[in-house]
Amino acid sequence: MLSSHPGPAPLDPVGPVVTVADLVALRAAGPVTLLDVRWRLGATDGFDRYAAGHLPGASYVDMDAVLADHAVVDGGRHPLPDVDLFGAAVRALGVRRDTPVVCYDAAGGTSAARAWWLLRHHGHERVAVLDGGYPAWVAAGHEVETGPGPEVEPGDFEPVPGAMPTASPADLLDGRVVLDARPQERYRGEVEPVDPVAGHVPGARSAPAVANLGEDGLLRPDEELRARYAGLGALEEGADVAVYCGSGITAAHDVLVLEQLGVRAALYPGSWSHWVSDPSRPVETGPGPGDAR
């Protein structure tokens, strides 16, 4: 049962979300591993943007090379990475089991949440996403670095998957609360810029990840987020919640927010790109539950 659980202490263990002020205090208290996860669908300029300016000491994380495994044939557009390859990659980035990790991006956490989820899923207990990411750091007046990034001492993190739940295609049809984190027009099937079939999983409720954010790019206040997810049925006592998106990236942001609200939701890693790879799986189009939220 994927039920509510006690939330973590603000900084120890770290997560799931920290503010810029939290991060400053955390770094003053000891080492912190910073991961820059700037990524945009269809773009390849993440490293260039990192090199133009990043948090001091941060290492760049390539979404496709580190946070996905494209050697997997049947896993959607961003299959989960091989455990051993993922472990080697994050150790090379300096990730240590007992050192807190803070992930950030420039998209409100909607790509950084993928790194947060993978590290949590593989057993790291001190991982957070920086609220507002790089823009919030800059807006607060803190220094940045440029260039290809630091040489870091290899870490010692050994991943063991299973700490965060996943959902299979069959799980999405078993009566649990299923949230679709894509934009509403993709959920309804009005447009589909990436995948070969438009629409949504039958019974899924529209919960766009971007709606977790205010106009300032920061997470909306907890009371607003709580009202939003309560309206979607995700906060009901004992509810099993599963989340998907296009390929398992932005869905992690809904999982992140639900974790902050005390609900441990399952991620469907292959998401819509995997769902539609089997023509026997049902598809719905048009408005659905929660579509106005």
Q: How far is CA 231 from CA 198, 227, 239, 244, 257, in A?
A: 25, 6, 13, 18, 15
Q: What are phi and psi of 186, to 5 degrees?
A: -75, -40
User: Of 184, 129, 114, nearest to 14 (Cα)?
Assistant: 129
The catalytically annotated residue of 34, 245, 251, 256 is: 245
Spatial separation of the C-alpha atoms in residues 67 and 86, rounded to whole Å: 7
User: Of 152, 134, 153, nearest to 144 (Cα)?
Assistant: 134
CB atoms within 10 A of CB 167: 23
- 103 as an active site residue: the answer is no
Q: Which tokens sit at 171?
A: 């799980």
Catalytic residue ranges? 245
